[in-house]
A and B are shown apart, each in its own frame.
Chain A
Amino acid sequence: MDREKVIEVKNLVKKFGSFTANDNLTFDVYKGEIFGFLGANGAGKTTAMKILCGLSKPSSGDIRIVGYDVYHETERIKNSIGYMSQKFSLYDDLTVWENFRFFGGIYGLSRKEIESQTQLLLNRLGIWSYKDRIISSIPLGWKQKLAFSVAIMHRPAIVFLDEPTGGVDPVTRRQFWDLIYQAASEGYTVFVTTHYMDEAEYCDRVSIMVDGRIRALDTPENLKSTFDCQDMQDVFIKLAREAKYQ
């Protein structure tokens, strides 16, 4: 493929003492793609994600994020990625606007940019009127969408979503995925980890990790036919059963 690669991972190894959390991972993620990063708890998803975000250094391997090297250019990497954690991390005691202003501020946006981005993103969600509400007073589903908006506020090349839909109802989850699609269509690359296999079906491509290794990587359709399964749920269970530490 000649599409632009935004994440290039070659032979990524991460060891903690004698334990190998990530064993020789190799994959690429292309611009504008929704990439699902699946795996059971303890399979090494979080470790790999931390390395991709520049939070942690790999033991060995060649990794480039938006063309920047994870060993020496973490600052550049941090400027070009967005991150949303599973806890929809916003400040509960601040208003919506204050949260936007803060996160915009730490990414070095000017006041004008912050204002225009906030307006754009809130209007898109149709909650401009929530601007001065305290975060703790708004429903979880909205918080989740706001957290996503905050994560793409500085127009990162890639946005990392760490189990972004935990604890919300199916309808809200569906709406959230609409938001992800929209972002992807605007050219954002979305790297998402999840436990929900129905969500895996929404991804362009999916990788499944088992015991620190990438066991499978393809489009959901191809995976289903390769492993001869009805849906992603079955594919996942089939592969996860192979794990040593279950």
Chain B
Amino acid sequence: MIAFIKKEVQHILRDYRTMIILFGMPLIQVLIFGFAITNEIKNANLVVIDHAKDYQSVRLIQKMTSSGYFKLSGYASTVDESEQLFKSGKAKQILVIENDFAEGLRQNSARIQIISDATDPNVAEQLKNYTIGIISSFTAEQRDLPSPALKVNVSSQMYFNPELKGVFLFVPGTMAVILMLVSAMMTSISIAREKETGTMEVLLVSPLKPWQIIVGKVTPYVVLSFINALTILALGFWVFGLPIQGSFILLLAEILLYIIMSLSLGIFISTISSTQQIAMMLSMFALMLPTILLSGFVFPIENMPSFLQGLSCIMPSRWFIIIVRDIMLRGNGLTHIWMETMILCLMILFFLGLSIKNFKVRLQ
């Protein structure tokens, strides 16, 4: 068995190209998702129509521009100019501050209008949310003012990810995809390779028991996947400031569970595919794409038609992402995620059971 694991490690080490991909991919993916494809918007052009021109409005504008999301590209005097400003690209969003803003704040009747360029609705929506966030925190700062109750008519709260950082979403998502890729695809391919080259026959004739072959095959990939998961977590933590609110041990345990789940899926794939190509195609199309598209990683599950929502329920990654977000962002313990954990456990049993059944049939 130890001889087996040693051999498997040698396979992996010898194939240095694959190894570079395996270790490099998580790094690159997280960085790309974190920096480039992030759906947060930075330095959007903001035009302000400041009718108040008092000290409070100036403070608000300052707060807006120092947030990093907006860049003050100019002032305008009337709302009529909006269309022109949008068309010229000078503005992505226009903030209108009504007369007597400071006074209004004191009397609880301050009014602000947000005009957005909704050519790209997601961007517009997000900028609006940023603005609302900034205004709420702005009003919160006004507590030290003498007046009893202060309120601007905005009621929106972003829990757990107040700045709506995209990276918070992408780190768990990337982890789900990478672990699935490394564990399921690599194991299924490497088992299929043994079948293809005929070495599987030799292994089966040898005194090794089937479970020893499987464990020997899988162990190096567990280690590899775990290293990848840690890399992603470390990147999230140090590069993107992603917090881990909950128990780190629990998080690692759940990651391990998900890795085992992916491996059992990989083993299952290898039992139904006879060549490396088939194994690869199966893992690519049957696993990767749904993992990315249906897990809530890229597209919110809530927005899917109900039949796709149903389909997403059988994606292990969906549950894993929920678990990871719960632990990392909400700081929840096992009591909150026991159901998702159970689902992953059941999936492991299901796929392992199916693989054993397939394996036996083949030997008959």
The verdict on A106 contacting B11 (CB below 8 Å), with A75-B207, A85-B201, A92-B197 known, is no
User: Within the assembled complex, what's the spacing in Å between the Cα atoms of A70 and B3?
Assistant: 27
Is B286 part of the contact surface with A, judged by Cβ < 8 Å?
no
Segment touching B, from A94-102, A121-129, A174-182, A194-202: A94-102
Question: Inside 8 A of B205's CB, which chain A residues have their CB?
Answer: 53-55, 78, 81, 83, 160
Per the 8 Å Cβ criterion, residues 206-225 of B in contact with A are 206-208
A89 touches B202 (CB 8 A): yes
Is B313 part of the contact surface with A, judged by Cβ < 8 Å?
no
User: Within the assembled complex, what's the spacing in Å between the Cα atoms of A105 and B199?
Assistant: 15
B7 touches A78 (CB 8 A): no
- Give the secondary structure class of B's interface: helix
B7 contact from A57, A86, A98, Cβ within 8 A: A98
B7 touches A91 (CB 8 A): yes
A56 touches B197 (CB 8 A): no
Question: Inside 8 A of A83's CB, which chain B residues have their CB?
Answer: 201-202, 205-206
A55 touches B204 (CB 8 A): yes
A79 touches B207 (CB 8 A): yes
User: Within the assembled complex, what's the spacing in Å between the Cα atoms of A55 and B198?
Assistant: 14
B199 to chain A, nearest CB (A): 4
Question: Inside 8 A of A94's CB, which chain B residues have their CB?
Answer: 7, 10-11, 14
Number of A-B contacts defined by CB within 8 Å: 71
A56 to chain B, nearest CB (A): 6
Over the window 122-147 of chain A, the binary record of Cβ atoms lying under 8 Å from chain B Cβ atoms (1 yes, 0 no) is 00000000000000000000000000
The verdict on A106 contacting B14 (CB below 8 Å), with A55-B204, A83-B205, A85-B202 known, is no
B318 to chain A, nearest CB (A): 36
Kindly report which residue of chain A lies nearest to residue B3, judged by CB atoms: A105
A97 to chain B, nearest CB (A): 11
User: Within the assembled complex, what's the spacing in Å between the Cα atoms of A86 and B197?
Assistant: 10
Over the window 1-22 of chain B, the binary record of Cβ atoms lying under 8 Å from chain A Cβ atoms (1 yes, 0 no) is 0111011001100110000000
User: Within the assembled complex, what's the spacing in Å between the Cα atoms of A107 and B95?
Assistant: 77
User: Within the assembled complex, what's the spacing in Å between the Cα atoms of A108 and B14?
Assistant: 24
Number of interface residues of B (CB under 8 A): 22
Number of interface residues of A (CB under 8 A): 32
The verdict on A93 contacting B11 (CB below 8 Å), with A56-B363, A78-B207, A81-B205 known, is yes
Question: Inside 8 A of B201's CB, which chain A residues have their CB?
Answer: 83, 85, 89
A106 touches B206 (CB 8 A): yes
Question: Inside 8 A of B6's CB, which chain A residues have their CB?
Answer: 102, 105
Is B364 part of the contact surface with A, judged by Cβ < 8 Å?
yes
Is A90 part of the contact surface with B, judged by Cβ < 8 Å?
yes
A102 contact from B7, B198, B204, Cβ within 8 A: B7
User: Within the assembled complex, what's the spacing in Å between the Cα atoms of A3 and B14?
Assistant: 49
Is B349 part of the contact surface with A, judged by Cβ < 8 Å?
no
A90 touches B199 (CB 8 A): yes
Kindly report which residue of chain A lies nearest to residue B364, judged by CB atoms: A56
Give the top 6 A-B pairs by smallest Cβ distance, nearest first: A105-B3, A87-B198, A83-B205, A89-B198, A89-B199, A102-B7
Interface residues of chain B, those whose CB is within 8 Å of chain A, are 2-4, 6-7, 10-11, 14-15, 197-199, 201-208, 363-364
Beyond A57-B364, A89-B198, A89-B201, 16 additional pairs, beta carbon < 8 A? A75-B207, A78-B205, A81-B205, A86-B198, A89-B197, A91-B199, A93-B15, A102-B4, A104-B3, A105-B3, A105-B4, A106-B3, A106-B203, A106-B207, A106-B208, A108-B207
> Could you name 11 residue pairs across A and B whose Cβ atoms are closer than 8 Å?
A16-B364, A55-B363, A81-B205, A87-B197, A91-B7, A91-B11, A91-B199, A94-B14, A101-B3, A102-B4, A103-B202
